[in-house]
């Protein structure tokens, strides 16, 4: 390749200068690229590592490879631009910043987990308002609702004498 470039008249210095600028621009662009990180996932892993003092135990508990756990911690530290853990081959300790981060993110992580569980519960358990025809149930059933679905409100449409729309907001069907 180099011989070909010399034959067509391009100097070696020009090629080297071009390569140097090209490589520098690639390094510079990747260094300034904003990192995309899933903080919920990274925080969960960080809290496991802090509680177990082990990448291996965390990986085992979460069903991940040790390299994935390490990568998540590295990405979190890089994103925060602070070292959270002091690591050696046999020991793992939280830095002062790591202890502070753990303490301050613990309630946030717990709240996120509670919200996620609540949202899942809402999807599993039926809730809301169920509109049924007036002849489909007795008035006592409509008032008490269903013991199997306590978060479902049952309402029967009441039409006015002129045959207009129901007064309780249910859509009247055929």
Supply the pLDDT for residue 8. 58
Q: Where in the chain is the domain with CATH 1.10.10.10?
A: 39-124
**Token code pair at residue 14:** 């020009």
Whether the predicted pLDDT of 113 surpasses 70: yes
pLDDT of residue 37: 85
pLDDT in tens, 23-64: 555 554 445 555 678 888 999 999 999 999 999 999 999 999
Other residues' Cβ atoms within 10 Å of the Cβ of residue 42: 19
- Confidence check: pLDDT of 22 > 90: no
pLDDT confidence of residue 174? 47
Q: What is the pLDDT of residue 14?
A: 64
| pLDDT > 70? residue 107 | yes
Q: pLDDT exceeding 70 applies to what percent of the chain?
A: 56
Reported as half-sphere exposure (CB side, CA atoms, 13 A), residue 146 has a value of 14
Topology of domain 39-124, per CATH?
Answer: Arc Repressor Mutant, subunit A (1.10.10)
Which pLDDT does position 34 carry in this prediction? Answer: 59
pLDDT at 13: 62
Higher pLDDT, 125 or 169: 125
Mean pLDDT of the chain: 75
Contact (Cβ atoms closer than 8 angstroms) between residue 154 and residue 146:
yes
| Residue 2: strand, helix, or coil | helix
Residue 39: per-residue pLDDT: 87
pLDDT of residue 137: 57
Provide the 3-class DSSP secondary structure of residue 56. helix
For range 146-172, the mean pLDDT: 61
Q: Are 69 and 58 in contact (CB under 8 A)?
A: yes
pLDDT higher for 56 or 126?
Answer: 56
For 120-135, letters b (16+ CB in 10 Å) and e give eeeeeeeeeebbeeee
Quick check: 169 pLDDT over 60? no
Is the Cα torsion angle 95, 99, 102, 105 positive or negative in sign?
negative
Compute the Cα dihedral for 40, 43, 47, 52 and give only its sign. positive
| Closest to 31 measured CA to CA, from 70, 71, 67, 81 | 81
Q: Interhelix angle for 96-124 vs 39-52, to 10°? A: 120
Say how far apart CA 47 and CA 94 lie, in whole Å: 11
């Amino acid at each position: 390749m180099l011989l070909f470039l010399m034959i067509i008249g391009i100097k070696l210095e020009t090629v080297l200068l071009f390569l140097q600028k090209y490589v520098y621009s690639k390094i510079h662009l990747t260094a300034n690229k904003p990192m995309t990180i899933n903080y919920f996932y990274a925080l969960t892993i960080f809290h496991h590592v802090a509680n177990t003092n082990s990448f291996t135990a965390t990986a085992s508990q979460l069903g991940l490879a040790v390299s994935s756990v390490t990568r998540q911690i590295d990405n979190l530290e890089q994103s925060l631009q602070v070292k959270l853990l002091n690591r050696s081959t046999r020991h793992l300790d939280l830095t002062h910043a790591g202890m502070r981060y753990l303490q301050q993110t613990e309630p946030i992580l717990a709240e996120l987990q509670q919200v996620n569980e609540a949202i899942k519960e809402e999807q599993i358990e039926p809730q809301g308002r169920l509109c049924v025809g007036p002849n489909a149930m007795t008035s006592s059933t409509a008032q008490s609702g269903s013991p199997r679905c306590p978060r479902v409100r049952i309402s029967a449409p009441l039409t006015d004498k002129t045959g207009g729309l129901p007064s309780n907001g249910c859509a009247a069907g055929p």
